[in-house]
Structure 1
């Protein structure tokens, strides 16, 4: 079985893929509802706002950050906190996962989440350009993730290092060493990549293993379109879908049952 199948089957069975899809749809539905070009909003505002909403929605559905609880027994109180700010119907359709199944696993200060041996970070990209994301031009953290080694008996680097790329390789290795304390366990870090075409309101959402591409090469070792069900249809493309207006969105299939939770007093992360 390939790494792609391993990752997607693990995350689908746990309800994580459905939760990611819900989080992204909620994030963009709210972003597009609030978008107002007459107020000065532009593509930069859309991207920044949706990125923040996506982080917040993932924390909500995974019971992380300020939505964390100390135990499942505490999860029945504080429902208003979890539902606050969501559009009508979103809270009711939010997939149910047990608190603690997914936890925060930040990398170099970049927000990340972890289930089992899989970690994922968020990344925005220009709509329609997912296959050409220039990872070498991104932050040291995103470059480090794209430079991860592929599983295999030889444990070779993903890409050969040529003389004119030595500085890039050194940069990635330096970032890896600086963050060695965060990767002591053998986590594989994936990327949850999102985009929207603001005039049409259509969006894209992919989960995959980024590749440190050179000269505009392929940006992924593999990626899966989370907007095309079923989640088991690995690696195939799909047309993006449009977020609904403030009335809500199509239901996301429920995952494993999760008790509701309250915000821990004093927990601001």
Structure 2
């Protein structure tokens, strides 16, 4: 996974690995150390966290302590974090600095606005839009100082992405959204491709719902791979980065083994044909 061929080129000129370790719900220093150690051993070089995950301190500590063990330097890994919805708007500059401080890093490779809404505001409140703009200005400032090597957004719809693209000084490098065979996000992906924004997937397993889907099970059986590997490979084969999460060392290794097999076009089409617009995570469509 550390092979440059297994990465995507961002509009900043830097590369982001196609497979990253998602760390949502990963808590406690002991478990984080074990999981990060297993991930580094398996070749993971991308680690995705967020302020709302409440694990930035432990992720940073684990990376600092474990990189030397694996013969790695800070420059060998890619770290993503995110601005929490409670910090949208005026609180954004302080929250950006807090993520840097908690991770204990000189810079963060990618920093995202976690979602388009602001905690405590009704979804229809127009202040959501004003706060997003203020947050983006803060991210641009940290980017200009080299503290955030790339900046982007998460959980944005076409409307939200078009809004930031129309007003930004620095365009988003990445859009991270829910993406799996039941939610293929065709319009959003087309906009990203048109504007040079990397489309990145989370919830590739549909919060686990797709693990028992008959069509996915059939594809997995046919190619002798786990259902999770098939779902992750379906995205990666389209050039879309994924962020599988697990605290089980063997599953961490399995989820990263995506580059020694290829799905047939028939299997790709079979999976894509499951699209029904089903979301299992946050639905941002009604946020003003």
Q: What TM-score results when the alignment is normalised by the length of structure 1?
A: 0.32
Higher RCO (CA-CA < 8 Å; seq separation 6+): 1
Higher helix share: 2
